[in-house]
Chains A and B, each alone.
Chain A
């Protein structure tokens, strides 16, 4: 094997991406759990920990830069390293969504939740499961799995739709609930975005394996097209 050292370094980068991924998975689940329990301390901790996620991302980015500059990767190696650059950026943004949810918990102050959280934790669970599978598919370069994951985005979208309608009924009944409904809607929106970004990771995995850049059709587009205009 001519490039043992380089191969080890590539493996190290993949491991680092997985570590970053697991930090993000935990942050998303914890942020929803803290909100559910209205645990302010936990949310404050999550906001601090987001800095660790950002730090890890920059650390990986730096390693990637050094590898690209010093090893002149080509073909599959190049696609992998360039895609890692994209993937860590997606992960960092997902971390920001978790931080956003933590911030909402802080901003809600003493106000109670408008309703007990049921669908929102489900959205978080599905999103995190999707992310976990996507990262496994990335490591194994499994195209079939990478293509199948974005389908689950439909479930997240359906839940988001459901949360939206439910919150609207509260608002219609009592306009004073607008602010609290809005906060929960933002939480659901953040989680919906997590699932979308998982799709981007799956697209990168397919690119690494095949060299073909193809957009996985987002059901998200259909979702917005289906919404009737309301005046």
Chain B
């Protein structure tokens, strides 16, 4: 398997996530994954596209994101809705805020598989090891242990729960809260797409509609 790992480092948050991704590099070595690392100055759109053109099976990205982009070293998108066709049919594993919302959904529509977060990701400095384990565990389940995406997601969420309970027992409640919040926003778009994770399909939408209409009328009257 061929992989590209992109990890910018340009602020305090990325200093930490850059270090988290070090373990991913090691795991790639253990799994026999042939990985091209694009770190810091190389984590920019031109270099990323250059490597994607050569072909890859797996694209890994560690850190900042927005709803429709993964942000590189120059604080500009390395991947967005305009060039995400490069990831069509590929595996994508990210630790990036929000990016599963639109970008991940679009890559899934283009037959890709997307591991990421639908909201802002939070972590605290008193629990860096625990957050590293949480952010990286899915990679281990998917690519070292060859779990199916659904099973890997379930196991990852159990890991987040275990870690959050461990943090509670250590008195690190705020860390536990954000561990739990990250778990809620973690998604894996594979067999099931974004619609399944966003409150259900058409039938559920129809059932919820009268309640939504009633609420909107009520709020207008107040």
Question: Do A and B originate from a single complex?
Answer: no
Mark B residues whose CB is within 8 Å of A. Answer: none
By a beta-carbon cutoff of 8 Å, the part of chain A in contact with chain B is none
